[in-house]
Structure 1
Amino acid sequence: MPDYLPFDPNPRPPHTPPPADACDSQFHVFGDPARYPVRPGAVYEMPTATIAAGLHMHRTLGITRGVIVQATTYGPDHSVVVDALKAAGPNYRGCANAAVFTAASDDALADLDAAGIRGARFSRQGLGPSLSEAEFTAALAKTRELGWYVKVQPEASGVAAQIAPFENLDVPVVIDHMGRPDVARGLEDPSVLKVLELLRRGNFYVMLSLGEKISKAGPPWADLIPVARAYIEAAPDRIIWGSDWPHPVSVKQPPNEGALLELLYSFTQSEGERRKILVENPARLFGFPA
């Protein structure tokens, strides 16, 4: 298993506090492998990225809501997320990995729903357990039956080439990581054009995240601003933000979370936009109180 660089253990507050009820729409939790066994073939593990460390990061940033996204490290076993949701309390929700549909009974899926799981993430190739065509179709059907949203993790080459199977869904669909655009191509990048097209359909959301890896320019990652602005202006009510803490599979040192929240601020032009992205849009999507 390769060694990847860890998260910054000393998060700092952003220069401006986020609005009340701000939500981190994607972070991951890990734990002691003795309690939470790593699946065979897992690409990575980060046992120090516990729910306690994640909640400390949120308190430091001024974030009070979050969505714990199942890491591919554990495959269909969602024990680490369920336990983390119990520890985090009612201001937190979970997102399953779609691999769960290959292993869990209807009763087990109902238990996950009761625990606070509200969506299923379809992982990119090479990171998560792969689904056969039949399993993929069944997973999408079960997600709709449960009333969950669908989450698409883009390939490193961009989301444009992989999005076709999700385009005609009638459930909320979240595109992670800005669709992994090639920012050197700007607004003419095929993935940016596809995301903008999908945002016009009414049920697609985009998560502003992974900027530190998408940027070609490096800190403060200003080359992302034109793409982020295009998304915000296209669908201000369907843009969310995620820290992606603890930044799995990082080959460069991950930035401080305070800097990543400030990156989001650089995308916005008003307090109203920040409130939509951090509070109102995730509240509606994940089922938090308005």
Structure 2
Amino acid sequence: MADTDNEPPLVDTHFHIYTTDLPLAPNAWHRPPEDAGVDRLIGLLDEHGIALGVVAAASLHGEYNDHVRDALRRYRRLRATAIVSPSISIYELERMRDDGFVGIRLMWRTLDQAPDITSPEYRRLLRRVADLGWHVHLIERADRLPVMMEEIAASGARMVIDHMGMPDSARGVDDPGFRLVLDALERGNAWVKLSAGYRFRPPSLAIDFSRDLLRLTGGERLVWASDWPFAAFEGRVTYGETVAALSEWVPDPAMRRRIGGRNALELYFM
């Protein structure tokens, strides 16, 4: 009988692909030190027995999504999110959907001044996202999260929150942003990625965050991700370590299979 206790996740729901020659956005917070292209990524997925993957739009490149589109066309086992202008047309979004895009990313946590998500342009974009059956993939500061979550919920779009909400490590599970993430899960309109534990100080805090998420959801609407190639942490984390972290965060094998498999399939591939 196969050892199912150590099965790898079926889907990696968050990684980036880029090369050092890609154009950087004016407000890029990091400059990649080496190429992290799609062929290298596919090699890692295969090496670790992971069948499917989701490219998360990298804010480093702003609205430049061409390399992701090309990767989706080459590898049908991939899906992706994109950073887009709120003025993008429904026709462009439909073509992106046909290529394998499944959502938009609002990565506003690093911005001192975030765009106005209540503006007519963003409300129109969110409605189009909902109409396409896409999701809004976000990470934002705690003080700006309530308005953002309210607008996304009102649009009818699904909401997917990065890295357990990226709580303030000093506040732990009492971080206001993390409590908002729990509230969103309880309302039923949000999904959360168990990922990027290496970014917490200490990394063991990720166990506390994941246990609270598991207690609330029973494993529903949680997915796993590697966050490869570990922007700003290159050389300090390996892909295998992120796979192993899931077993620390979710000790029960059956629940790991749900989080690493069924949940992610329903969200990204159906």
Fold match, TM over 0.5?
yes
- TM-score under structure 1 length normalisation: 0.81
CA distance in 2, matches of 1:190, 1:41: 26
Residues 1-290 of structure 1 aligned to structure 2 (within 5 Å): 16-19=6-9, 22-31=10-19, 33=21, 36-46=22-32, 48-89=35-76, 91-97=77-83, 99-102=84-87, 104-126=88-110, 131-133=115-117, 134=119, 135-155=121-141, 159=142, 161-167=144-150, 168-169=153-154, 170-214=156-200, 216-217=201-202, 221-235=203-217, 236-250=219-233, 253-288=235-270
Equivalent-residue separation in structure 2 for 1:176 and 1:281 (angstroms): 15
Q: Helix, strand or coil for the counterpart of 2:54?
A: strand
Moved more, 62-71 or 191-200: 191-200
Q: Distance between the aligned counterparts of 1:18 and 1:38, measured in 2?
A: 34
Q: Amino acid of the residue matched to residue 187 of structure 2?
A: R
The alignment yields a C-alpha RMSD, in angstroms, of 2.4
Q: How far has the Cα of 1:239 moved from its partner?
A: 0.4
Task: Report deviation, 1:115.
Answer: 0.5
Name the CA distance, whole Å, in 2 between partners of 1:41 and 1:182: 23
Q: How far 1:240 sits from its partner (Å)? A: 0.6
Gaps of 5+ in 1: 1-14
Matches of 1:182 and 1:132 in 2, distance apart? Answer: 24
Contact 2:167-2:173 at 8 Å conserved across structures: no
Shift of 1:188: 2.5
Moved over 4 A (4+): 127-130
Distance 1:94 1:52, change over 3 A: same
TM score, norm. by length of structure 2: 0.86
Letter matched to residue 261 of structure 2: V
Report the AA paired with residue 101 of structure 1: P
Q: Which protein has greater RCO, CA pairs closer than 8 Å, 6+ apart?
A: 1
User: 1:42–1:127: 8 Å Cα contact kept in structure 2?
Assistant: no
Deviations 1:104-147 (A, max 9, x none): 33222111010011111111244699534523323222211222
Aligned mates of 2:135, 2:66 — CA distance in 1: 20
